[in-house]
Homo-oligomer: A and B are copies of this chain.
Amino acid sequence: MPDSVSAAPKPIETRESVVIRFAGDSGDGMQVTGTQFTNATALAGNDLATLPDFPAEIRAPAGTLAGVSAFQLNFSSSDIFTPGDELDVLVAMNPAALRANLGDLRPGGLLVVDREGFTEHNLTKAGYETNPLENHSLAGYRVVPIDITRLTTAALKDLGLSARAVFRCRNFFSLGVMAWLYTRPTEPIENWIRHRFKGELVEANLRAFRAGLAFGENTELLPVAYQVQRAVIAPGTYRNITGNLATALGFVAAAQKAGRPLFLGSYPITPASDVLHELAALKQFDVHTFQAEDEIAGIGAALGAAFAGAIAITTTSGPGMNLKAETLGLALAIELPLVVTDIQRAGPSTGMPTKTEQADLLMAMYGRHGEAPVPILAAATPGDCFHMAFEAVRIAVKYMTPVVLLTDGYLANGSEPWPIPSVDQLADIPVRFRTDPTSFYPYLRDEETLARPWVIPGTPGLEHRVGGLEKDVLTGNVSYAPANHEQMVRLRARKIAGIAREVPPTEVFGPPDGELLLLGWGSTYGSIREATRQLQNEGLRVAHAHLRYLNPFPSDLGALLGRYRRVLVPEINLGQLVRLVRAEFLVPAVGFNKVQGRPFKVSEIAERARKLLRNERLEESAA
């Protein structure tokens, strides 16, 4: 009787944190389910981190491993930095989802499956020879098989929906079960359903959701419910935000704070396209989006827009970044502000477009001919994308330089609760176009920043030409004079190096000196931070520093590195930052590298650090 919520409520136990993953076919609505669970969790006051995992194909054949879509959430009453290494709960809507995800479920973890999905046909498609629900292979887990399809159908029976439509409500049944199990607030989910769906689908999804709740309440398979206490979170208003959305908003905010139009020239590419999509829908903020014929035209148009006085940006991912190199070189030669965002994905070549990687750092540094320095910033978390996008624009404008902003697929699609900044407290980005023709020279530089003046067409008396040939150090006219070239090459380098003066001091999490510094950049932030905390809890003198400015480095970095006996640099590549710090500071930093298209587990980093420290002790005792 799913409708009659009877009997005494079940007992509620408290958990500090829970890692849950919803997995199903790409048509099963797992991203929606995960997102709604996340929103409810955020409103419940937990700290949280999420990890969506889309299939690589647009629409892989239903039921296949290639078609599995998943959404993972870690929520907790204490600080959370990662979506979690291991699952406490796996919800698997079909055999393929089970097979693709079971490896991540911790021993004894809770496994919720739609039993009816385990038909012979589906088992075969997933590559199972026998039904795992029946062959004891799942003995190490707490298996809760539910006839989700049947129960959903029953709940919706008098609505007159097609079987297909009913089938598509199954995800809300699962969500209901999980919402009950973790005592999530149901209001926000129901509101969202009312908002999102139309006609009888509102009722259908509400019923499915409530049926799931009721099932949880009544089933013997789930004898207790759990709660996770509110986390101590800094006061403020929060929302969940993905890295790509935060990037887009950061650019809009920066342009607004600069009082200039925002121009995006871009060519679609996974996982960067969403920034284009977001910005295309924000034209009311004087945002101009240009879907170009290719990446070269995207950056070319952006450079033109910069010349014309806009806040100009271009967005792409690795393969497209190659194509932007030549124009990036021109931008730094003609010294115009421009932000190039590379949302990294697994390479080389086409690689694995939907998978994450951090292997474009050295390309950002060196991927152009000639001496062609640019500042490089990297966001550490989804929400940080907002700030780094904003900062990239600020630096570009202040120093009249292109800036490379690095994020990656993990940040782009991952989300975290984000304290919404107050617009009043965002600093203005002063833009001062030169209009005075007296003693005007296109390359006369500001003494402090070495920036040349920004003069836009339409300014009478300041007509001038810029171009990629080497320029006279003052007039900007073409010059082949040997000494002038050297001067210009060094000036361009000094200008970028000088940005270090306003790079904030490196924040260190942990002791100011010690046995080991974990040095990271980009999306590894959470895993490294959590690993560091664990190591610290073990009494190890380990600290974590995370670089958001990769070029120039913070001025305190050399000294900082020198204060730890060892420096370990975990990266989702074969060792790129580690090469830069070794070359720059001659410190024997070592890399810890994983290149699997996915983030580090906390345990992997912690284990690697322990090993390093053990060896150190071994070496010492041997010495």
Contact = CB atoms under 8 A, between A and B. Distances in A.
Main secondary structure of the interface of A (DSSP, over half): mixed
Contacts of A573: 371
A319 B363 contact: no
Contact of A322 (B333, B368, B489): B368
Interface string A330-352: 10111000000010101111111
Given A346-B485, A486-B594, A493-B574, A359 B371 contact: yes
B370 A482 contact: no
A574 B371 contact: yes
Contacts of A346: 370, 470, 485
Contacts of A347: 329, 368-372
Contacts of A595: 371, 485-486, 489-490
Contact of A325 (B322, B342, B467, B469): B322
Interface residues of A, number: 65
A363 to B, nearest CB: 5
A70 to B, nearest CB: 14
A329 B322 contact: yes
Contact of A582 (B332, B469, B486, B586): B586
A344 B371 contact: no
Contacts of A349: 326, 329-330, 332-334, 370, 372, 468-469
Nearest to A296: B323
A283 B492 CA distance: 45
A357 B344 contact: no
Interface in A348-395: 348-352, 354-355, 357, 359-360, 362-363, 365-372
Nearest to A324: B322
A583 interface: yes
Contact of A596 (B352, B365, B485, B598): B485
A56 B372 contact: no
Contact of A351 (B370, B582, B586): B370
Interface string A309-325: 00000000111011101
Contacts of A371: 347-348, 359, 573-574, 595
A53 to B, nearest CB: 11
Contact of A348 (B322, B350, B368): B368
